[in-house]
Structures are given as C-alpha cells and as structure tokens.
Amino acid sequence: MPLTIVTDSIVSLPVDALVNTTGSTTASRPAIDAALREAGGPQLQAERERLGRIEPGDAVAGGPGALDARMVIHAVGPLWHDGSWDELETLKRCYSRCLAAAAKGGCMSIALPLIGARTHGFPRDRVLAAATEAIGEFLAESDLDIYLTVDDRALFRLPRLLYGKIETYIGEQTVAHGGADADTRRRCPICGHGAPSHAEVCDACGRPLLQPSAPRSQQENPAWADTEPRPVPRHLKRRPRHACGSSDAGTLRQQDAEATFAEELSRLACEKGLSETQLYRRANIDRKLLGKILSNGAYQPSKETALALAVALHLNLEGTLDLIGLAGYTLSHGDTGDIIVEYFIEQGQWNIHLINEALFAFDQEQLGR
C-alpha cells in the first residue's frame, strides 16, 4: 500500500528512510525528534550538526546513526503566520523534497510525521491537506511505500466542514436503514457535538467527551448485525474479448458464464483508458498486487483492495457494487467504513487519499490494504 496512515511510533517502522523534523540550525530548536534522538544515539546528533543550516521548506538526507535504516532525512517546515506568506506551498515543498531525497537515495519506503502540526503553529487540517497533496502528486509519478505517522490523534484533523458532512451522512444512513437507536459515538455533555469513539475531547468546545453507550439493538441482541444488507449485485456475463476488451464478433459469447473479478477489472480499465500503472497508483496498491490479481483469475482480493480498485476506476455506486460483488463483497449500512466510502462515491469524489484520511479519522480500515 503506497500511502498508509499509521499511529505507530516513527522509529518502530521497518523502512529505509525516516524523516526528522528539525530547526534551520541545531541551536534553533531540538535538532532531533525525541524518539529518533533516543534510538539514533549521539551519532545521529553529530550527523545533524555536520549537515549545518537547512532552510525552511528544505530537506537534507544524512546518515542514520544507530537507527536500523538507510538514511534519516532532516526536514525544516515553515512557521505559520496567517497563511499569506506561502506557508502551505513551503510545507508542501518540504514534503516533496523528503520524498525526492528518499527516491534519489534508492529507498523503497519512508516514514514521515505530520510536519508542522506540533510546533509550527499550523492549523491541523491544513497540515494534513498539505501532506497528502504533496504525497499524492509524488505517487502519481513514482513508486514508494509511504507511512504517514500520527502518534497523537489530536494532531490529525479533517477539515471541519468535511468531517461534519460525513458525520451527518453516517447518521442519515444509520437512521434510514434501521439504526435510529444506535449511538456508538462519544457525545459532548456541553454542546452535544459527536465524535468518533477514539476521541477524548470535543472538537467544538474542547470539553471531555462522554463514553459511548451500546445501541439498543445490540443490548437486546448481542449478535445483532445489519438487518438490511444491500442486495447482491447482478451477475456480469463473460464476453470473449480482443485486446483492450472489445467483444469478438467471430466467437460465440459464453452467456451462461459469470465474469471473474479480474476479467471485469481489466475490461473496465481498458474502457476508461487506464494503463496498469495508472490503475495501481490510483488505487493506492502495490504494482505486484495488481499483477497478481490480473494474472490469476482465482485470486481473492481483500474487500479493501476491491473497493480501492472501484474507486480508481471512478465507478458510480451501482458499478462499484457490481465490481466488488464479483469478489464476493457488498456494502452494508451496518458498517461505518462502508458508509464513508459510499458518501465519497455518491459525491463523485474518487481521491483515494482523501477517502483514507476520512476512514482513519473515523477509526476505520483504509482502502488498498
């Protein structure tokens, strides 16, 4: 999975390159992030001092010290003023140069923190937007496994308007499909604002949130599941094809045979003019995984992978259900992650990284895994 948002400590990830957020000079602020400093030892501090001054928005690769990595990239993010001093462009450039340094050094993987979120005064939703925009642009042209580390969930925040729209959509779908009594979110005792179960404080007023109560349906029946699953999509028929999926008029159609997931995926990609490279990058999956899916009709992709490929193809809801149905899956209104994915599809928003940000914010599995 090229981009994964994780809560692990940056030093615990088995990657080739680690990013250290630092000041322009070793005297301007702690030169090494605390976790990296402890694991990298005095050798890492000495390496940072050797590199000297680094300008805001720049990133410079150095030795890893005692860390089990190929390199440590020292990055200097800009300070936030009011947004009129090109702070966001400078922050994006900082991320881009981190990724470029890793690629230039022959690295296959990198772990980055949310640069600027903790000490630079950036609004947290703008830090996230700058990070994923820069990463998305890089991944559109290059292959690199990227881990965006969020060791403190309080630093991770979707734009409030988007978060509110998704939250409202989840509530509407839950009520519309038999879950009117369900309330598994924490609830602010002061303003009533809801938040995911992992949240500790209210985004709106900063007060501690109440623990969620079990939905009434779960209290009455511990084995409760979604009582109104979506209908299984209609079967698609296998059609003999030329290259690029055109029907072969000289060959009898096998109308009684169901198409495989791989066949339909290949047909749709060709129909939309997508190369395999464009497809796996849009889906946020590994090139080798896509090759395995396309070459082995019996291979069973995970639901997250099947949905990621539907998103990559920019399918509407009906098309998504048809495609993932061939892999044995459907969408359920009893699953918060499914509802979030449905929201983006219904809005015609197929940015896989934005969808995964929302899934992470609501503590759901990300697509592409």
Instruction: Based on the residue annotation, tell me whether 363 is a catalytic residue of this protein.
Output: no
How many whole angstroms separate alpha carbon 334 and alpha carbon 179?
Answer: 8
Do the beta carbons of residue 54 and residue 76 sit within 8 Å?
A: yes
CA-based end-to-end distance of the chain? 6
- Per residue in 161-192, is it b (16+ CB within 10 Å) or e — as a string? ebbeebbebbbebbeebebeebbebbbbeeee
- What is the phi/psi pair of residue 200, to 5°? -105, -35
How many whole angstroms separate alpha carbon 106 and alpha carbon 153?
Answer: 31
Find all residues with CB under 8 Å of 293, minimum gap 6, and list them: 261, 262, 265, 299, 301, 305, 309
Q: How far is CA 220 from the centre of its chain?
A: 35
Q: What is the DSSP letter of 179?
A: -
The single residue of 33, 58, 203, 338 carrying the catalytic annotation is 33
Which sequence positions are flagged as catalytic?
A: 33
